[in-house]
Amino acid sequence: MNDKQIAQLRQLPSVDRLLEASDALSDYYGRSMVTTAARTVLEQLRTEIRTANANIDLAIPTILAQVEAHLTEQVAPTLFPVINATGVIIHTNLGRAPLSQNAIHAIEQIARGYSNLEFDMANGKRGSRSVHAVDLVQSLTGAPAATVVNNSASGVLLMLSALCAGKEVIVSRGQLVEIGGGFRMPDVMRQAGVTLVEVGTTNRTHLRDFSNAITENTAAILSIHHSNYKIIGFTTEPTLSELAQLAHANDLPLLFDQGSGALLDTTQFGLEQEPLVQKSVADGCDVIVFSGDKLLGGPQAGVICGRSDLIATIKRHPLARAVRPDKLAYAGLAATFDSYVRGKALEEIPVWQMLAQTVDEIAVVAAEWCAILCAAGANASVIAGHSTVGGGSLPGQALPTMLVAIEAEKPDLLAERLRFATVGIIGRIQQNNLLLDPRTVLPHQRETVGRILNETFVKVA
């Protein structure tokens, strides 16, 4: 080290001097956190002095500003809102379904204080949280009984563990799915203590394949909806009603992993028919598991509905406590179901609002953003494109939309700049264009997108 570096090292204030001058920081973050941050910043400055032959500002206010920046970064939340302009409605990586205002209000009300989560108001004694939202589920689906867990995957695990452990469950080979994160149905069944019996082939499974596989050790027939993939061409598989008749003729239950859990007809938007939960009940399924945060449009949850005796067995299983939802999920789910009961799902639930948007409505928003971009000096245009449902729902299906295409030499750098805007905007890249789809941007976010696009390109210019 040279004399200049040695002199700068001697100028560094002690931790105690920094703490004496940082009462406001200590009051907010606590003395212990400020002490740790001060030591970290001082060590960084020592390293910088030793490795860089430059004048470094070592004034106490400057160093405290660095300490404060370090603390701010340290306590910054890792989970925060973003704007979904990808065109994927149920985007798993972006939190799946945005909640309705009714659901948000219900969650806020319950979060503010105490609730009757496990308290029976009628007799003043301990109650059960499993009663919440189930009346609405039964009313909407026609199922005799229902319960709620923390997600659909745990619902399947609980159902199999409670009803089929130690015995065989028959499944078509064409339905042995893998969902996100590498979780595979055979692994889930193994974890539940179930012996998997595969029947048929990948593309063709007949009713006789199930019939031939039934033994005295068979616990159930399990059907799994093709929620995140399609098998096309030379294919066949029994209907749910056919499987139900076979199962019941052999005194077995038919279990159905329905996946996304649609309660409204998707064909009204030009999409293929996603299985309706109420039809699955009518077709004779004895237990159905579906998700709360996909096409249903609610918070993360798994709903299990079906025969009263089987649901009672499921609720008594020890695993039921481990996978139960919290009070906020119950509140949001009940409010979401309430929109369906009142016939207001299309008007109130964002997922269905997005599905119902017309191309003309989307084009108006796209044109506004494009005008802002062009005025700021960007090379932008409005082009035709497609949105997707996502979230393991309606695979291969797309909705026509209008996209804002921003041409850039390095679209990945532009995408990064928008991700780190005051509110992160997530788009998708296609060739040399960054594409923004208004369909998946919530109405109250559209003005924010326009402002950020203007700021971004004015700064670039």
Q: What contacts 343, CB < 8 A, 6 or more positions away?
A: none
List the chain pLDDT tens, one digit each, 461 residues: 788 888 888 999 999 999 999 889 999 999 999 999 999 999 999 999 888 877 888 899 999 999 999 999 999 999 999 999 999 999 999 999 999 999 999 999 999 999 999 999 999 999 999 899 999 999 999 999 999 999 999 999 999 999 999 999 999 998 888 776 667 888 999 999 999 999 999 889 999 999 999 999 999 999 999 866 677 778 889 999 999 999 999 999 999 999 888 999 999 999 988 999 999 999 999 999 999 999 999 999 999 999 999 999 999 999 999 999 999 999 999 999 999 999 999 999 999 999 999 999 999 999 999 999 999 999 999 999 999 998 767 777 899 999 999 999 999 999 999 999 999 999 999 989 999 999 999 999 999 999 999 998 876 54
What tokens appear for 395 in the block?
């695979």
Q: What is d(CA 354, CA 336) in angstroms, rounded to the nearest whole number?
A: 16
Q: Fold for 82-90+352-460, please state it.
A: Aspartate Aminotransferase, domain 1 (3.90.1150)
Q: Give whole-number Cα distances, 197 to 17, 157, 250, 253, 344, in Å.
A: 72, 17, 16, 15, 43
101-348: CATH number: 3.40.640.10
pTM equals 0.89
In 296-445, which ranges are continuous DSSP H helix?
308-316, 319-322, 327-341, 345-348, 350-356, 359-375, 411-419
Taking the domains of the chain in order of start, what are their residue ranges? Answer: 3-75, 82-90+352-460, 101-348
**What is the pairing mode between strands 195-199 and 168-172?**
parallel
One fold for both 82-90+352-460 and 101-348?
A: no
